[in-house]
Structure 1
Amino acid sequence: SGPATAVFVNGEDARPYSWPWQISLQYLSGSSYRHTCGGTLISPSWVMTAGHCIGPRTYRVVLGEYDLTTQEYNEQIRSVGSIVVCTCTYTQALMSNDIALIKLDAPVTLNDKVQPSCLPESGEVVPHNEPCYITGWGRLYSGGPIASKLQQALLPVVGHSVCSTSSWWGNSVRPTMVCAGGDIRSGCHGDSGGPLNCKGRDGRWYVHGVTSFVSSRGCNTIRKPTVFTRTSSFINSNNTVHL
């Protein structure tokens, strides 16, 4: 298994600005910035992404983004103030605790195109077969071009008791992870660090996962669903993310 190198198969263009907490994490390459990972706005000053997205680079966060190739004048761009990678022994080999928080250098302006996500309660587990959506600017097929418009794909959740069986992911999957997908019909992995969006009973969308890793055999591998860091494992009693 390896980091979820963005691929969207069976995805579709999202309705513009329908996932207003989705962000684009970009790094400086030469004189321009390139999209590298997704992430989730969780408050006006904080973004949640995957730990493996963070390296010794210069980053910026773009919010209110839909088409990466077009300036749409709804974007808000923020530099990174500080980065907190989980001190809870994030290990590249196991991809466990694959989560990081980015503090923006200035709060964003909230509007209909930029909104923080709802977060689940501490310890909350999404039931098996729950229909959730991954979102991001993944490649449209392996080795293909990156999608310019934000993509979404429906991925049913695979319960931990199923996902951790030997014919699925086995003991690679910890209780602090969520599995989703893993059949031919489902979409593929989106951007690393991006959200797994699941609808709550109250009709609102909650971000239950941070896209972490996928099978090295590629996407749409049977019984090898995309694996996410389970957000609720890192939420404290105040309903805030704590690393």
Structure 2
Amino acid sequence: MVIAFIAAITTCLGRVPAQAAVTEPPEVGAQIVGGQPADGAWTVSLQSQRPDGTYRHTCGGALIAPNWVVTVAACVSPETAANPPTLARAGSLEWQTGGSTAGLMEVIIHPAWEGLFTNAIALVRLDRYLTSPEILPVTVPLGPNGLALVAGFGTTCDSDPEDADCLESISDRLLQLEEKRLPDSECSLNIPPFGELFNPDDMMCMVSADGEAKQACFGDGSSAVVAKAHRGYRLVGLAIADGDEVDPFRPFACSTAPEGSPGELFVLDIFAHVPWIAETIRQRDPAAAERMVAIAAQAAG
């Protein structure tokens, strides 16, 4: 599958550069309601400007080239985001400081996205190269029962997102949680009345790996989902939503399902969109596309 990924991009590029840097975060174990401090700055903080001129974390993304971020379409679309982000901070465990920042120069939303979960992917071209070492390769997909880490800056409460105290509980520091991929047949989105929302071709369902009531929550949208690669970690997905956003019987309880079982996280499968990512970046920025190939090749060993 690694070869398939590299072939998908090199079909567009024609060659693979010999050298490239690759992120190598430290080893992590089971670890943002119920999350633990993250060990790697895998998630880019996309931030919107407030009326007073300050910036606030809006949603996440992942750096896949020095000047390209992949994110969820609803995060950056003017049709769904009341105040779309204009600033990206990468390479920091805190969304307010550290790492490096850049403005958003161009936003490209998948042409087949229709406002729901399928094809809910977008690319953001930054206005300068970032020096962050946390450039994540995409090498192989995550299989059923596979383990991954979701890392986000979202709320640490499990309450009404309109509640001021809940909104102010947004984490200053990146938190992580180990998740396990469910078989598609066990995903609640694959069960009526929500079956039409689930597309197994580009979505995954995940629950906390230890079976406890922990889960990504409000503000964790587009957070990076990473798994171990041959070297360091690889990007396998982006958080789209948790069960509260589609199930009216479990409002504002990110960490649990109605029957008390762990809440589900719905994840965009990045690997499914490699051809679109590669071609879109190649058309606009061939050097960045080549960089992606080199990073993937080195991560794969």
Q: Which of 192, 204, 209 pairs up with 2:221? A: 192
Correspondences of 1:32-181 after superposition (within 5 Å): 32-56=54-78, 57=84, 59-69=86-96, 71=97, 74-88=98-112, 90-92=113-115, 94-110=116-132, 114-121=133-140, 124=141, 126-143=142-159, 144=166, 145-163=169-187, 165-166=190-191, 170-175=195-200, 176-181=202-207
Match of 1:204 in 2: 232
1:107 and 1:214, CA in 2 relative to 1: closer, same or farther beyond 3 A? same
Q: Distance in 1 between matches of 2:151 and 2:279?
A: 20
1:165 and 1:84, CA in 2 relative to 1: closer, same or farther beyond 3 A? closer
Matched length: 220
SS in 2 for 1:236: helix
Give 1:160 deviation, angstroms. Answer: 1.8
1:186 and 1:41, CA in 2 relative to 1: closer, same or farther beyond 3 A? farther
SS in 1 for 2:138: coil
Match of 1:240 in 2: 278
TM-score (norm 2): 0.66
1:234/1:242 contact within 8 Å kept: no
Matched residue type, 1:25: L
Gaps of 5+ in 2: 1-31, 79-83, 160-165, 245-249, 282-301
1:83 and 1:165, CA in 2 relative to 1: closer, same or farther beyond 3 A? closer
Give 1:241 deviation, angstroms. Answer: 7.0
Instruction: Give the 4+ runs in structure 1 shifted more than 3 A.
Output: 55-58, 167-171, 239-243
Matched residue type, 1:45: N
Q: Distance in 1 between matches of 2:139 and 2:149?
A: 15
Q: Which of 265, 268, 271 pairs up with 1:226? A: 265
Give 1:215 deviation, angstroms. Answer: 1.4
Q: Distance in 1 between matches of 2:199 and 2:193?
A: 13
SS in 2 for 1:35: strand
1:141 and 1:157, CA in 2 relative to 1: closer, same or farther beyond 3 A? same
2:213/2:263 contact within 8 Å kept: no
Q: Distance in 2 between matches of 1:229 and 1:127?
A: 14
2:152/2:216 contact within 8 Å kept: no
TM-score (norm 1): 0.81
1:150 and 1:159, CA in 2 relative to 1: closer, same or farther beyond 3 A? same
1:77 and 1:52, CA in 2 relative to 1: closer, same or farther beyond 3 A? same
Which structure has the bigger radius of gyration? 2
Q: Note if 1:24 corresponds to 2:45.
A: yes
1:85 and 1:165, CA in 2 relative to 1: closer, same or farther beyond 3 A? closer
Q: Distance in 2 between matches of 1:14 and 1:182?
A: 15
Matched residue type, 2:114: T
1:61/1:80 contact within 8 Å kept: yes
Match of 2:15 in 1: none
SS in 1 for 2:205: strand
SS in 2 for 1:52: helix
1:169 and 1:197, CA in 2 relative to 1: closer, same or farther beyond 3 A? farther
| Higher mean displacement: 77-86 or 205-214 | 205-214
Q: Distance in 2 between matches of 1:228 and 1:154?
A: 14
Gaps of 5+ in 1: 1-7
